[in-house]
């Protein structure tokens, strides 16, 4: 790890003032589960680390009739232990339960989950977010791309978004509240993730001196939700494909649906096609499968990840069936 | 972007970076025969204005910190980049937590921080100040193994032993949270630790034994 100076911010204003205007100069330390590993590997080498864990405003879970507010420092374990979230927002609870290391859950925060960097092994080995060698040659297309994107992979970015929560937040139409020197703004969850064009950009719509402060989730009263993850191992593994769904039913008929996929594209995929395939129909094995097929209709496998198309399709199908109960 | 040095995790990309103290490893080794102690370069704290308030900036050189380890306040002088794990092992002679993957994956460095299991490799020592840290060394009471330690012995929950301190702390944390865990809670509750020898079955039995003992049952 390169040397850095360390600052302990106790207010949001302090934190954003201590962050610079350029990516990479300073990094935000919350749970540290991803950042410290990146720094040990010299993939990230900030001159300053701003610890935000002592900022009280970033803590706490509040649930009202209007919805759920998660402070960005809420840990995964706090969400897992929250019976009301489990009852009212199963998609969120199940996404959190998918992180099967108690140690990671005790350290990892919901804000950090959104801002963690991709797990792409080329990125982690120092080849940059777009995975190019010294001569600018893209490494993923002919390389080991078994865990890379099957959707949205036409451009240079081929990694997959690593967030566990993102699909659930998108399906529930959550907002991400962020703060910067000029104050706060809210970003719709499906607008929070972006695809960078160079290493000077990030995978999320924050400015270098902005931090995530809250996750705001509207009431899910009358909404049936679920998250389904496909993993290789039962414990401590990254999903190969995730689907989160939020359904409004009229009797047995789906009145509206929001279906989001994770770990299949550089950004979480909000699949209108899957939702359209389901709306107006009763949830059955067949209609759920058709929605899954619609979600991956435009998928394009790289040389070694065609298997992920089937996994993504099944994740959507099973999330729908799970949500409908 | 900077390419990665592959020849050692702790080697800074800039070899000069470690020489800020004015004492290289070589001169330290040469000098240590004569000088009894090497003066520590501390004082790495300055104050800056952020949002109109004074905020302390620590480092990048060594700074003095105080940690609460196993009920004892312990002082150390480390750079902000040093992890809790490395401080325990290299500065405070507390080597129970093991350094294996050093990337928050294997669990061999598991310690309790304010009662909760965390990876000591993924916490900076400087940010662990003010927290109660408990390591595997603290489980034993008056020379007697804790129930979890005894149960791991009884159930053959170790082989090469390298993962054992981390698993022992993780089992202790699991049983603190779920006094009588279901099989699934045990399986998932130990999901943050890896054992290459495959002692999982023995460890799960050990958890069962402790839970049964607590209920007053015998095995």
Dihedral angle of Cα B170, B174, B179, B181, to the nearest 10 degrees: -120
pTM: 0.91
Burial A246-269 (b: 16+ CB within 10 A, else e): bbebeeeebeebbbbbbbbbbbbb
Tokens 């290391």 belong to residue: A101
| Closest to A32 (Cα-Cα) out of B100, B21, B83 | B83
Is the Cβ of A41 closer than 8 Å to some Cβ of chain B? yes
Q: Confirm or reject contact between A119 and chain B (CB < 8 A).
A: no
CATH topology of domain B147-214: DNA polymerase; domain 1 (1.10.150)
DSSP H or E run through A81:
none
Percent of chain A with pLDDT over 70: 100
Nearest-5° Cα angle at A229, A225 to A230: 150
For chain A, what are the domain ranges? 58-325
Angle CA(B112)–CA(B161)–CA(B196) in degrees, nearest 5?
95
Predicted pLDDT of residue A235: 82
Chain A: residue whose CA lies nearest to B8: A41
Asked if B12 lies within 8 A of A2 by C-beta distance, the reply is yes
- In the prediction, which pLDDT does B141 show? 84
Q: Could you say which DSSP state residue A221 is in?
A: T
Residue in B3, B58, B117 nearest the CB of A106: B117
Please tell me the CATH code under which domain B63-135 is placed.
3.10.20.30
Residues 4-23 of B with CB under 8 A from A: 4-5, 9-10, 12-14, 17, 20
Residues of chain B with pLDDT under 50: 1-21, 25-41, 219
Cα–Cα distance, A229 to A226 (Å, whole number): 10
pLDDT tens string A298-322: 999 999 999 999 999 999 999 999 9
- Selected residues 143-202 of chain A with any CB under 8 Å from a CB in chain B: 199
Weakest-pLDDT range from A67-71, A250-254, A292-296, B34-38: B34-38
Distance CA B114, CA A92 (A): 26
In chain A, residues with a C-beta closer than 8 Å to the C-beta of B80 are 3-6, 49
Q: Which residues face A269 on adjacent strands?
A: A261
Question: Does residue B60 have a cis bond before it (omega within 30 degrees)?
Answer: yes
Put simply, the answer to whether B53 touches A8 (Cβ < 8 Å) is no
A234 touches chain B (CB under 8 A): yes
Sign of the alpha-carbon dihedral angle for A314, A319, A324, A325: positive
- Show which of residues 129-168 on chain B sit within 8 Å of chain A, judged by CB atoms: none
Q: Residue B34: its pLDDT value, please?
A: 42
**CB-closest option in A104, A106, A128 to B1:** A128
Q: What pLDDT, on the 0 to 100 scale, is given for residue B217? A: 60
Non-local CB neighbours of A240 within 8 Å, separated by 6+ positions: A147, A230, A231, A232, A263, A308, A311
State ipTM.
Answer: 0.96
| Cα–Cα distance for residue pair A100/A121, rounded to 1 Å | 21
Q: Which of A102, A106, A129 to mutate to test the interface with B (most CBs of B within 10 A)?
A: A102
Interface contact B105, partner A, CB < 8 A: yes
Look at residues B117, B100, B218 and name the one whose alpha carbon lies nearest to residue B171.
B117
Answer whether B104's CB lies under 8 Å from B87's CB. no
| Residue B108: closest CA among B185, B178, B184, B190 | B190
Q: Say how many CA atoms lie within 13 Å of A24 toward its Cβ.
A: 11
Nearest CA in chain A to B51: A14
Four-way CATH pick for A58-325: 3.90.1150.10, 1.10.1040.10, 3.10.180.10, 3.30.465.10: 3.30.465.10
Is A208 in contact with A48 (CB distance < 8 Å)?
Answer: no
Does B147-214 match B63-135 at the fold level?
no
Q: Which of A32, A103, A199 is the closest to B117 by Cβ? A: A103
User: What is the tens place of the pLDDT at every residue in A54-108?
Assistant: 999 999 999 999 999 999 999 999 999 999 999 999 999 999 999 999 999 999 9
* Distance from C-alpha of A296 to C-alpha of A166, rounded to nearest angstrom: 18
- Where do the structural domains in chain B lie, given as residue ranges? 5-56, 63-135, 147-214
* pLDDT tens readout for residues B125-145: 999 999 999 999 999 988 899
The answer to whether A120 touches A254, Cβ cutoff 8 Å, is no
- pLDDT score, position B30: 44
The whole-number pLDDT of residue B88 equals: 98
């Amino acid at each position: 790890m390169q040397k850095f100076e360390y600052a302990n911010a106790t207010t949001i204003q302090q934190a954003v003032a201590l962050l610079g205007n350029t990516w990479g100069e300073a990094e935000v330390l919350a749970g540290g589960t991803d950042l410290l590993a990146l720094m040990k590997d010299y993939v990230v080498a900030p001159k300053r680390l701003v610890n935000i864990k002592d900022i009280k405003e970033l803590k706490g879970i509040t649930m009202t009739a209007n919805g759920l507010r998660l402070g960005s420092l809420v840990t995964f374990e706090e969400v897992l232990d929250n019976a009301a979230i489990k009852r009212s927002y199963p998609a969120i609870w199940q996404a959190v339960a998918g992180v099967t290391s108690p140690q990671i859950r005790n350290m990892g925060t919901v804000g950090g989950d959104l801002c963690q960097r991709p797990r792409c092994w080329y990125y982690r080995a120092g080849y940059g977010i777009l995975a190019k060698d010294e001569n600018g040659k893209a490494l993923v297309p002919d390389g080991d791309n078994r865990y890379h994107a099957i959707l949205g992979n036409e451009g240079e970015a081929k990694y997959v978004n690593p967030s566990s929560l993102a699909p659930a937040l998108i399906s529930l139409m959550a907002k991400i509240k962020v703060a910067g020197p000029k104050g706060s703004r809210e970003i719709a969850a499906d607008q929070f993730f972006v695809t960078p064009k160079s290493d000077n950009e990030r995978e999320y719509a924050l400015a270098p001196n902005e931090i995530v402060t809250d996750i705001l989730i509207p009431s899910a009263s009358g909404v049936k939700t679920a998250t389904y993850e496909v993993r290789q191992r039962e414990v401590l593994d990254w999903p190969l494909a995730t689907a989160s769904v939020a359904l409004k039913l009229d009797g047995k008929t789906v009145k509206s649906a929001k279906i989001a996929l994770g770990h299949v594209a550089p950004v979480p995929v909000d699949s209108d096609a899957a939702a359209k395939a389901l709306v107006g129909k009763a949830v059955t094995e067949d209609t759920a499968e058709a929605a899954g097929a619609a979600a991956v209709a435009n998928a394009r496998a790289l040389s070694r990840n065609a298997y992920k198309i089937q996994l993504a399709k099944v994740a959507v199908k099973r999330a729908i069936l799970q949500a409908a109960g | 972007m900077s390419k990665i040095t592959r020849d050692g995790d702790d080697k800074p990309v800039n070899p000069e970076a470690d020489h800020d103290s004015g004492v290289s490893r070589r001169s330290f080794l040469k000098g240590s025969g004569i000088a009894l102690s090497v003066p520590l370069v501390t004082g790495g704290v300055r104050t800056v204005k952020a949002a109109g308030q004074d905020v302390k900036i620590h480092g990048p050189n060594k700074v003095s910190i105080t940690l609460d380890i196993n009920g004892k306040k312990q002082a150390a002088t480390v750079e902000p980049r040093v992890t809790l794990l490395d401080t325990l092992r290299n500065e405070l002679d507390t080597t129970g937590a093991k350094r294996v993957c050093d990337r928050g994956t294997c669990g061999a460095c598991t310690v309790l921080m304010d009662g909760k299991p965390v990876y000591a490799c993924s916490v900076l020592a400087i940010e662990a100040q003010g927290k109660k840290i408990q390591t595997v060394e603290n489980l034993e009471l008056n020379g007697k193994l804790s129930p979890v330690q005894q149960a791991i012995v009884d159930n053959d929950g170790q082989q090469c032993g390298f993962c054992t301190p981390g698993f022992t702390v993780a089992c202790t944390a699991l049983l603190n949270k779920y006094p009588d865990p279901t099989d699934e809670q045990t399986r998932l509750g130990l999901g943050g630790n890896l054992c290459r020898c495959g002692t999982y079955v023995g460890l799960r039995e050990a958890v069962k034994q402790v839970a049964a003992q607590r209920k007053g049952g015998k095995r």
